Amino acid sequence: MSSFSAAARRVVRELRNCGLVLLLAFAATALHAQCPSPAPNSLDPNLIFKRPAPPKRAPGQEPLLPEAGFLSNTHYTSQFFGFGFDLPLTVEGHEIMLPVMPEKQHALLMLQYEKGDHNGYIQVTATDPSPGYEVNTPEKEQEELQRWAQSGHNFGGTLQFPVPAFMLRSGRFYSSTRHVGRNYAAQYWAGINNYMVKVVIRTNDKDFLRKARGLMEDAHFYCPQDDGTLIDEEGKPVKAEGAPYSGPTVPTFRVNAALRDEPGKNIPPGNTVDGVYRNPEVGLQYRLPPGWDVVPPDKSDPPPPQDESTLREYKFLHACSQTLLQIGPRLPVGVRGQPPGPSIVLRALDPTCLSIRTASSLTDKRAADEVAATLEQMGEFGAIDSDELMSIHGHLFMIFRGTMATSQRGEDLGQRMSQAIFATRYNKLLLMWSVTAPDAAALAQVPTSNILFDGSPPIELRASLLARR
């Protein structure tokens, strides 16, 4: 599990350090977007081209996002931008999780491989239109077309008004290839609906580069419709391969919405009285282990990260979650400054806000792997080495094991603690008990005590886990 995250971090470092700006030279390929042609009477000088009105959406319904696509094990199709190509790598075993993207950027696809001395990756991204070239609403598009038609002359004459910005769709990929020694980089880019779409291929394997370039040359362009369907040059519907896919990280629209609305603040905090944490709105009770107390928030905890990308990830997590409880062994009166000891932190995450797909059955190992990768990427849950699924009294738990680095105020190097995370979906929330201790032996002795969900028998996490073994 840790290699999945390490690969993602290595890719991010490469992208930042190498600065893949490969626009020094390019060659246009013959990949043109083919949309149905206008009717023969389009030569009428008074004709105003009308786009079909987008379908009406229910209040609050999410629009089609730039990250929307379809992905099979061997093929990728962008539903939003209307292109598709076969992949030089299988998705299984090569899919990489990325950090959330900056405000106006979108991650569409990320695959990477390592085999012996050879390695490589393919990444597809898109950047929002430049100021003044944003995609207009249908009403503004129609108004712009009206002005365009009224200001121009007959077809064939000189236009007095520029072509509407939303029609600036190149419908082709341009490309550039560079290499330094044994390291190769190829970039394909296209302006689609005023977005800049880029496909970047980096590798030290000439065969991988040759295969990837060949597949990009065979890419297909389609005409996206406002209802999310795709049609070909003959106007026939296109059936995309694979399952719906929204990219290797949370879509930028959802991140921006979460940072704006902060739905995590609406999660009921609950309270602790006489050694029992109660949260009736969530339907949860948790009895603290004997001799343990609530640990108040430590104001000396490290401040939020200053790096822009990491800070955005941090704010996103906290906009979609709430720390409900933090407990530790009761210290003798007057004792302070003890080294980090056992602790339990209960968090509630909004999986919809975070775009997390949780496991739905004991066989849904892929979902557990995806959650583990997401938790690692968020940076506050340590390194996850393994995961498993377990059912306790009808509640499905995802169990993650790994390590967590902790530091005290004034320390440069933190202590590495052993950690186990017990996570279950309940009442639309992902409830997570993060149990940490100085080492694996101490972790095995941490009393997790009883969890009580409405209408269910008490659950003792550690005892259930030991009983299963």
Rounded CA-CA distance 324/336 in Å is 24
Q: Of 378, 371, 326, 323, whose CA–CA distance to 348 is shortest?
A: 323
Rg (CA), the chain: 27
Q: How many helices (H) and strands (E) does the chain have?
A: 9, 25
Mean pLDDT for 310-320 is 94
- Supply the pLDDT for residue 464: 63
Asked if 344 and 311 touch (Cβ cutoff 8 Å), the reply is no
Across 116-259, the runs of DSSP E, i.e. the strands, are 118-127, 174-180, 183-192, 195-203, 220-221, 223-224, 230-231, 243-245
Rounded CA-CA distance 78/84 in Å is 6
Highest mean pLDDT among 6-10, 13-17, 28-32, 464-468: 464-468
Supply φ then ψ for residue 209, to 5 degrees.
-60, -45
- Using one digit for the tens of pLDDT, what is the confidence trace for 430-462? 999 999 999 999 998 998 888 999 888 899 887
Q: Which two tokens stand for residue 226?
A: 């406002």
Q: Of 50, 51, 42, 48, whose CA–CA distance to 156 is shortest?
A: 42
Mean pLDDT for 222-229 is 86
- Supply the pLDDT for residue 191: 87
pLDDT value at 168 more than 60:
no
Question: Would you say the C-alpha torsion 330, 332, 333, 339 has a positive or negative sign?
Answer: negative
- Supply the pLDDT for residue 337: 56
302 or 25, which is more confident: 302
User: pTM for this one?
Assistant: 0.77
161: left (phi over 0), alpha (psi -120 to 50) or beta: beta
- Using one digit for the tens of pLDDT, what is the confidence trace for 107-116? 999 999 999 9
209-213, 328-332, 335-339, 345-349, range with the lowest pLDDT: 335-339
Mean pLDDT for 266-286 is 95
Q: Residue 460 pairs with which residues in a beta bridge?
A: 450
- Supply the pLDDT for residue 328: 93
418 or 171, which is more confident: 418
How many CA atoms, within 13 angstroms, populate the side-chain half-sphere of residue 16?
Answer: 10
- Supply the pLDDT for residue 146: 59
Mean pLDDT for 145-153 is 53
Asked if 103 and 66 touch (Cβ cutoff 8 Å), the reply is no
Neighbour count for residue 191 (Cβ, 10 Å)? 16
281: left (phi over 0), alpha (psi -120 to 50) or beta: alpha
Rounded CA-CA distance 268/321 in Å is 11
**Superfamily of structural domain 262-468:** Mog1/PsbP, alpha/beta/alpha sandwich (3.40.1000.10)
Q: Residue 69 pairs with which residues in a beta bridge?
A: 78, 245
Mean pLDDT score across all residues of the chain: 80
Per-residue confidence band for 119, with pLDDT thresholds at 50, 70 and 90: very high
Highest mean pLDDT among 2-16, 258-272, 336-350: 258-272
Mean pLDDT for 244-259 is 95
Per-residue confidence band for 298, with pLDDT thresholds at 50, 70 and 90: low
- The residue ranges of every structural domain in the chain are 2-249, 262-468
Rounded CA-CA distance 325/165 in Å is 52
4-18, 60-74, 209-223, range with the lowest pLDDT: 4-18
